[in-house]
Amino acid sequence: MKAVGFSRFGGPEVLEIVDLPDPHPGPGQVRIAVRAAGVNASDWKKRKGLMDPQLPQTLGYEAAGVVDELGEDVADVAVGDRVFGFSIDPAAQAELVVLSHYAPIPPSLDFPGAAALPAAIETAARALDQLGVGSGSALLINGASGSVGSAAVQLAVARGARVIGTASPANHEYLRSLGAEPVAYGDGLVERVRALAAGGVDLALDVAGSGVLPELIELAGGVEHVITVADFDGAQQHGVTFSRGDAGRAVYVLGEIGELIESGRFSPPVAQTFPLTEVAEAHRVSEQGHVRGKLVLLVG
């Protein structure tokens, strides 16, 4: 099968379409013929050698497609079903991939839309769980208009929380459409949030990693009420929890998101798509940042 890979670290030009053996599912797993695969910031960080030291590497943990092979004891889907989910190895940007956690694609969603979901909704749900966001919570989300931020906004609203979200002014109407109260980021953030919530907020989630953890701690009343998914160094410096998947992943959200989408309570991030052969361009766009929505590779 064809897959995205690289055998040396560097810029987008080191990416190649390589031939790999076809994978096969183990017990409880399914293999899909991939139609779309998500692109994340971790992809270009791996490509530059900032994360994993080994070579060669393949890329991608989330994909959507059509089931074409079942592992032992799989009874909840059949060959030919449309599913999306997480791969067991970082090799989802390929023609075939084995999924360890998966769910049916909601009827109203296409393959790119489904491939845009797994990492965003799992990261968002995990962080909300760790914060204890529930009905009546007042939550501040820093970086609310990206794929993870917009997922966190909508999942928090669905839980009954009041959400205040930071974003550039161009994205304020978008945040309102998701159910959040927008504020501009930058100098004066504390004052702008307090103009909406005089006593501050109960909880704060940092998705942007833009160096505002001290302000979030002040607004939420302490480090124990703040979580970041984007600022590892800042978390260590300020004593804030950095949410990571190895502490337990919220994969249950794959099975719950369909009902929220079909009932109109969750709008998936708009996918900006690239053919698999243009993965280098997708990396360039991802590395530049400021992407609203989700970058997705089209396969097949």
* Top CATH class, 2-117+268-298: alpha beta
Average pLDDT over residues 6-11: 97
* pLDDT value of position 140: 98
* pLDDT value of position 283: 94
Average pLDDT over residues 127-144: 97
* pLDDT value of position 43: 94
Q: In b/e form, how buried is each residue of 38-59, taking b as 16+ CB within 10 angstroms?
A: bbbbbbbebbeeeeeeeeebbb
Pairwise pLDDT comparison (220 vs 88), residue with the higher score: 220
Q: Is the pLDDT of residue 290 over 90?
A: no
* pLDDT value of position 135: 97
In which band, very low, low, confident or very high, does the pLDDT at 269 lie, cut at 50, 70 and 90? confident
Name the residue among 132, 148, 123, 124 with its Cα closest to residue 220.
132
Query: Is 256 buried (19+), middle (13-18) or exposed (0-12) by CB count in 10 A?
Result: middle
pLDDT by residue (tens digit) across 150-165? Answer: 999 999 999 999 999 9
Q: In b/e form, how buried is each residue of 147-185, taking b as 16+ CB within 10 angstroms?
A: bbbbbbbbbbbbbebbbbbbbeeebbebbeebbbbbbeb
What percent helix, strand, coil does the chain show, rounded to 5? 35, 25, 40
User: What superfamily in CATH does domain 121-247 come from?
Assistant: NAD(P)-binding Rossmann-like Domain (3.40.50.720)
Q: Is the pLDDT of residue 292 over 70?
A: no
Contact 140, 204 (CB under 8 A): yes
Which residue, chain included where needed, has tokens 């030919």? 80
pLDDT by residue (tens digit) across 185-233? Answer: 999 999 999 999 999 999 999 999 889 999 999 999 999 999 999 999 9
Q: Is the pLDDT of residue 237 over 70?
A: yes
The pTM of the full predicted model, rounded to 2 decimals, is 0.94
Q: At what angle do helices 147-158 and 118-131 cross, to 10 degrees?
A: 50
Arithmetic mean of pLDDT over the chain: 95
Domain boundaries along the sequence of the chain = 2-117+268-298, 121-247
Percent of the chain clearing pLDDT 90 (strictly above): 89
